[in-house]
Amino acid sequence: MDEKIAPHLEELTRALGDLEKTGIRAEFEKLLAFRVPPEVAKESLLRKFGGKSKVLKVKDLSGNLKSFEITGRVLDLGEKSIRPQDGAQEGPSKLYTGILADETGSVMFSSWKELPGSTGDVINIRNAYTRIWQNRVRLSIGEQSLMSKIPDSPLPSLSELSGSQTKKLIDIGAADFSVGTAACVLQLSHREVLVRGRQSRVISGVLADETGRLPFTAWIELPGIDIGSIIRIEGAQVRMFRGMPSVNILNGTKFSPVKPEEAGKLAFTFESTGKDPDPIRIEEIDSRDSMFDVATAGNVVSVRPGSGIISRCPECSRVIQKASCRAHGKVEGIRDMRIKAVLDDGTGSLSVMFPRELAEIIYGKTLEEAEQLMISDISKDAVYEDLRRFLTGRYLAVRGNSSKSEYGISFVAEKAWVPEEDLAVRVVKLLHRLGPAEEDGQERNSQVSGGGIDLA
């Protein structure tokens, strides 16, 4: 081997693994053939294939993730020819599609490259990304991705991974291709929707077990199923709806009511799942892509600009500025009120949106009263300033849905209240977090008590 290139190849191997298998060796040679200096070739390959990528499991996948690594067993594989667009130089290209699974779930994938294996094989993919396609999260393998076959993988066998995996609701991920679960129907309603121009009746509602709740949609009739029923579902699909995974019951989905004697063995009942959710820590909400119907509590640390009285377009409900909508031009705006506040519980902070009904409750003023304040103060910011003074530092509990977007986690409140939890309990908890050592903590306790907080 050329002495000049050996150290570079060693370095690439350390950073990127087996160069032969992944095809990086060939890429390196190609660059050298174009008279790229070995040093520069190495740097460019390190940049291109990323030395340290995030390693994810199927359950971690959500929409629009970039350059991560994932390993899974191919459950299904097919290929189709894609006709190039008119005027394109190349001939038809092949798209490989299928399902990849690990012990946490299964996901649909599409690849522009031929896979280094077939159904049943375990494949490692680097520089993979995800897309949302038809409301589903899809694993994408592009030109920049590297694939290699893993011969002796500890992943479960093909037969174990095939079929739908039975999961608790909290473990159902946004990317799950096919899931099974046993859950209680907490809410259920019928609605008419247009599907490809045809009026169809769908059932939507909420499922619950001892770990949480998820929305569901059934595109088929569910005879004998009603609120309070405990059902077993197999082969349901997960689709994204308003940033939230939702369980879809389709033609191919099996469902059946759970028999009473079997239901007795489950860790939940209709009564237990119907209870209000216990508040959880903000860090737990922050750590997940989305959570449906959860409760949390914290202090208002800031009220964000854009809170207060706003105008909405009567056509599309977008917030408008200067009586002009981005989509509908000059319109007569409709007055609305909302509050965006940041709650902090010491474990993390969360941006919470309070729509008008809740904004009126936590602010203690109606939209009309807030308008009066704006008029009497002759200031656009009067309501915002008043909100800041009134809300900052208050302790609030909220219940609603959280979802991650490119701007971070946002939480839309559906309920809000001032918790009755004893103030003293919270102060003790706070001191406990602040106290670095036991004896030090004692001292802080007395100082803070002297500072005006009455623990008694």
Residues lying near Zn ion in the complex (CB under 5 A): 313, 315-316, 318, 325, 327-328
Instruction: Specify the residue, 54 or 318, whose C-beta has the smaller distance to Zn ion.
Output: 318
Instruction: Specify the residue, 26 or 316, whose C-beta has the smaller distance to Zn ion.
Output: 316
Helix (H) or strand (E) holding 447: helix 438-450
CB of 316 to Zn ion, least distance (A): 4
- The answer to whether the CB of 406 falls within 8 A of the CB of 351 is no
Cα separation, 178 vs 88, whole angstroms: 37
Instruction: Specify the residue, 221 or 315, whose C-beta has the smaller distance to Zn ion.
Output: 315
Instruction: Specify the residue, 328 or 433, whose C-beta has the smaller distance to Zn ion.
Output: 328
CB of 351 to Zn ion, least distance (A): 24
Neighbours of 222 (CB within 10 A): 17
Instruction: Specify the residue, 160 or 315, whose C-beta has the smaller distance to Zn ion.
Output: 315
- The answer to whether the CB of 100 falls within 8 A of the CB of 26 is no
- The answer to whether the CB of 107 falls within 8 A of the CB of 139 is yes
CB of 332 to Zn ion, least distance (A): 11
The single residue listed with the structure tokens 């667009």 is 85
CB of 311 to Zn ion, least distance (A): 11
CB of 60 to Zn ion, least distance (A): 37
CB of 320 to Zn ion, least distance (A): 7
CB of 318 to Zn ion, least distance (A): 5
Cα separation, 52 vs 82, whole angstroms: 33
CB of 326 to Zn ion, least distance (A): 7
Instruction: For residue 198, give Cα distances in angstroms to 10, 111, 192, 203, 216.
Output: 61, 33, 10, 16, 21
Neighbours of 306 (CB within 10 A): 12
- The answer to whether the CB of 315 falls within 8 A of the CB of 200 is no
Instruction: Specify the residue, 318 or 432, whose C-beta has the smaller distance to Zn ion.
Output: 318
Instruction: Specify the residue, 55 or 316, whose C-beta has the smaller distance to Zn ion.
Output: 316
Instruction: For residue 361, give Cα distances in angstroms to 303, 364, 412, 416.
Output: 16, 5, 15, 8
Instruction: Specify the residue, 315 or 357, whose C-beta has the smaller distance to Zn ion.
Output: 315
CB of 329 to Zn ion, least distance (A): 8
DSSP string, 206-252: EEEETTEEEEEEESS--TT--TT-EEEEEEEEEEEETTEEEEEE-TT
Three-state SS letters, 263-303: HCCCCCCHHHHHCCCCECCHHHHHCCCEEEEEEEEEEEEEE
Instruction: Specify the residue, 311 or 403, whose C-beta has the smaller distance to Zn ion.
Output: 311
The single residue listed with the structure tokens 């004893």 is 422
Nearest residue relative to Zn ion (C-beta): 313
Say which amino acid occupies 144: Q
Instruction: Specify the residue, 66 or 318, whose C-beta has the smaller distance to Zn ion.
Output: 318
Instruction: Specify the residue, 108 or 331, whose C-beta has the smaller distance to Zn ion.
Output: 331
- At residue 432, φ and ψ (nearest 5 deg) are -60, -40
In this structure, what is the dihedral angle of CA atoms 38, 39, 44, 45, given to the nearest 10 degrees?
60
Assign 74 to helix, strand or coil: strand
CB of 321 to Zn ion, least distance (A): 12
Helix (H) or strand (E) holding 385: helix 382-391
Instruction: Specify the residue, 100 or 325, whose C-beta has the smaller distance to Zn ion.
Output: 325
CB of 456 to Zn ion, least distance (A): 56
Question: Phi-psi bin for 131: left (phi > 0), alpha (psi -120 to 50), beta?
Answer: beta
Paired tokens of 394:
């208050």
